[in-house]
C-alpha cells in the first residue's frame, strides 16, 4: 500500500523503520495483532495517511548545504533568471519548510522584492506542511547559522523562534505527491526546482515518474538542484550537468538517443562583463565525440530506465567491454536499483579505482554508506568530494 501511494522503496528506510512505524500505530489504535492492523488499514483510508506520517520523518535545517544557496545567488545574475518576473521556485519535498524559506531569504538578500518571485513548497506529509506554514522552529533548525541570522529573520517565542512575516508571505505550501500527475500538473512551471533526498527513497517506476514530472515542471532554460546522492539518478533520466563547481546543478537535456546525455548550456549572458564572466563559468567545454563503446553503455542505460535491470547488468558485465569508470558506475547504479547494495558498492569502488575523481561514484557510495549506518565511511567519501570542489570552474 505504501508502494502504491508513495512509490516508496521499503528497503531504503532501513531494516526496522517500517516495523517500528506500524507498531506505533498499533499501540495508538490498541491493536495487538498484525493481521488485524492490516485489515484496519484496508478498511480505513485515513489510516494510511497516519502511517505515512510515521514513516516520513523530515530532517532539515536552515541553509543546509550552503553551496546550494550560493549557486542560487549566482544563477540570479543570468537570464532568464535575472529578468523573470515573477521568478518561480519549487522546493520538493519541502519537509517542515526550512529549505523553502532559505530560498526566499536568499532571493530577498539578492535584491528581489516579494512581488518579484514565488516559492512553492510541496510535501506528502500533512504534518510537515502544517509546521512549515506555522514557521515556528526550535534550535535544531539553526545548525550552521549564526545569532545574527536569528535576530534578523526571527522573533523569539519562549524557547522557539517564529519567522518574520515578510519572509513567510513569499512562500506557499501545498500537500502533494510528486508522482501524482494531476496534482503536480496544476502547479505550472518553475524556473528553479530544489529536489533533494527524494529519489533515493523511491522504487524504480516511481523514480521514473517523479523525474518525468520534474522535467515537465521545469522551464526549458530552468535549473534543477539535485541532492548529492541523487545526481547520477537525474543524469541517467533526462538531465545534464552544467557546472563543475556545483555538480548538483542540472538542466533539462534532450530526451532521446545519445543527445540525452549531452550537457545543456545556459542562455547567453547580457552585455555586462560581470555577467559574461559568470555565464561562461556555467558552461562546460564542449565534450569530444563519444567513443563507439558508449553505444553498449547507452543500450544498458535505456534497459535500466525501463526496469530491465538483469538485462542491463548482463550487458555491462561483458568482459569484452573496456574497463572504464562510467561502465562500473552504471553497474553500481543498476545493482543498487535491484537491491544488491553489496555489489553496488564493489562496482562503485572499482569505478573510483579507475578514476579517483569520479564524483558521481563518490556521491552514491556516500549515500550507500549512510544507509548502512557506516558513518565513518560516509564522512570519508564526503571529505573526498569536498577536496575535489576547489578544482571546479563555476565562480572560481
CB distance 114 to 75 below 8 Å = no
Residues 66-282, CATH architecture: 3-Layer(aba) Sandwich (3.40)
Residue 5 burial by Cβ neighbours in a 10 Å radius (0-12, 13-18, 19+): middle
- Provide Rg for the chain, Cα atoms: 22
For residue 376, name the pLDDT band (cuts at 50, 70, 90): confident
Q: Where are the alpha helices (DSSP H) in the chain?
A: 2-6, 17-29, 34-43, 45-55, 66-75, 98-109, 126-134, 147-153, 165-168, 181-185, 204-217, 231-235, 273-282, 294-305, 309-316, 325-337, 341-354, 359-372, 375-388
pLDDT confidence of residue 377: 85
For residue 326, name the pLDDT band (cuts at 50, 70, 90): confident
φ, ψ for residue 60, nearest 5 deg: -155, 170
Please list, in sequence order, all residues whose beta carbon lies within 8 angstroms of the beta carbon of residue 94, skipping any fewer than 6 positions away. 100, 121, 122, 123, 128, 129, 132, 173
Tens digit of pLDDT for each residue in 118-154? 999 999 999 999 999 999 999 999 987 888 999 999 9
Tens digit of pLDDT for each residue in 205-223? 899 999 999 999 999 999 9
CB distance 250 to 236 below 8 Å = no
Please list, in sequence order, all residues whose beta carbon lies within 8 angstroms of the beta carbon of residue 380, skipping any fewer than 6 positions away. none
Residue 367 Cα distances to 19, 24, 341, 378, 395, angstroms? 22, 27, 11, 7, 27
Cell reading at 377: 565511511
Q: Does pLDDT of 15 surpass 80? A: no
pLDDT confidence of residue 388: 66
Average pLDDT, the chain: 82
Tens digit of pLDDT for each residue in 194-205? 999 898 888 888
Mean local confidence (pLDDT), 98-103:
97
For residue 269, name the pLDDT band (cuts at 50, 70, 90): very low
Mean local confidence (pLDDT), 377-387:
79
In the chain, what are the domain boundaries? 2-54, 66-282, 294-391
Residue 253 Cα distances to 56, 177, 240, 262, 378, angstroms? 31, 24, 6, 7, 30
Tens digit of pLDDT for each residue in 274-315? 333 333 332 333 333 333 334 687 788 767 756 678 888 888
pLDDT confidence of residue 130: 95
Q: What is the 3-state secondary structure (H, E, C) of 169-226?
A: CCEEEEECCCCCHHHHHCCCCEEEEEECCCHHHECHHHHHHHHHHHHHHEEEEEEEEE
Check whether domain 294-391 has CATH 1.25.40.10, yes or no: yes
Does the pTM of the predicted model rise above 0.85? no
Amino acid at each position: 500500500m505504501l508502494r502504491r501511494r508513495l512509490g516508496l522503496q521499503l528497503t531504503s528506510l532501513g531494516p526496522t523503520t517500517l516495523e517500528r512505524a506500524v507498531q506505533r500505530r498499533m499501540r495508538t489504535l490498541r491493536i495487538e495483532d498484525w493481521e488485524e492492523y492490516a485489515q484496519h488499514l484496508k478498511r480505513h483510508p485515513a489510516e494510511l495517511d497516519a502511517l505515512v506520517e510515521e514513516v516520513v520523518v523530515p530532517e532539515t535545517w536552515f541553509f543546509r548545504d550552503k553551496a546550494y544557496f550560493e549557486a542560487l545567488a549566482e544563477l540570479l545574475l543570468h537570464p532568464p533568471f535575472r529578468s523573470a518576473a515573477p521568478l518561480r521556485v519549487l522546493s520538493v519535498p519541502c519537509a517542515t519548510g526550512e529549505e523553502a524559506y532559505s530560498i526566499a531569504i536568499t532571493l530577498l538578500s539578492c535584491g528581489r522584492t516579494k512581488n518579484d518571485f514565488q516559492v512553492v513548497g510541496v510535501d506528502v506529509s500533512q504534518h510537515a506542511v502544517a509546521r512549515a506554514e506555522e514557521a515556528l522552529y526550535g534550535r535544531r533548525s539553526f545548525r550552521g547559522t549564526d545569532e545574527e541570522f536569528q535576530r534578523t529573520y526571527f522573533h523569539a517565542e519562549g524557547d522557539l523562534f517564529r519567522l518574520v512575516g515578510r519572509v513567510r508571505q513569499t512562500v506557499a505550501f501545498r500537500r502533494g505527491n510528486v508522482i501524482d500527475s494531476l496534482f503536480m500538473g496544476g502547479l505550472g512551471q518553475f524556473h528553479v526546482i530544489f529536489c533533494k533526498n527524494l529519489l533515493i527513497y523511491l522504487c524504480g517506476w516511481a523514480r521514473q515518474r517523479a523525474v518525468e514530472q520534474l522535467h515537465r515542471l521545469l522551464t526549458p532554460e530552468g535549473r534543477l538542484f539535485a541532492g548529492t546522492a541523487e545526481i547520477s539518478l537525474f543524469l541517467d533520466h533526462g538531465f545534464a550537468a552544467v557546472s563543475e563547481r556545483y555538480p548538483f546543478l542540472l538542466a533539462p537535456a534532450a530526451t532521446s538517443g545519445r543527445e540525452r546525455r549531452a550537457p545543456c548550456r545556459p542562455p547567453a549572458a547580457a552585455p555586462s562583463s560581470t555577467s559574461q564572466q559568470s555565464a561562461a563559468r556555467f558552461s562546460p567545454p564542449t565534450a569530444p565525440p563519444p567513443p563507439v563503446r558508449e553505444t553498449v553503455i547507452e543500450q544498458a542505460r535505456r534497459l535500466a530506465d525501463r526496469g530491465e535491470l538483469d538485462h542491463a547488468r548482463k550487458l555491462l558485465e561483458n568482459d569484452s567491454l573496456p574497463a572504464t569508470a562510467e561502465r562500473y558506475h552504471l553497474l553500481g547504479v543498476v545493482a543498487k536499483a535491484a537491491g544488491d547494495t553489496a555489489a553496488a558498492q564493489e562496482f562503485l569502488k572499482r569505478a573510483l579505482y579507475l578514476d579517483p575523481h569520479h564524483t558521481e561514484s563518490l556521491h552514491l557510495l556516500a549515500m550507500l554508506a549512510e544507509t548502512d549506518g557506516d558513518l565513518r565511511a560516509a564522512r570519508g567519501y564526503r571529505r573526498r568530494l569536498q577536496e575535489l570542489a576547489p578544482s571546479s570552474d563555476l565562480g572560481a
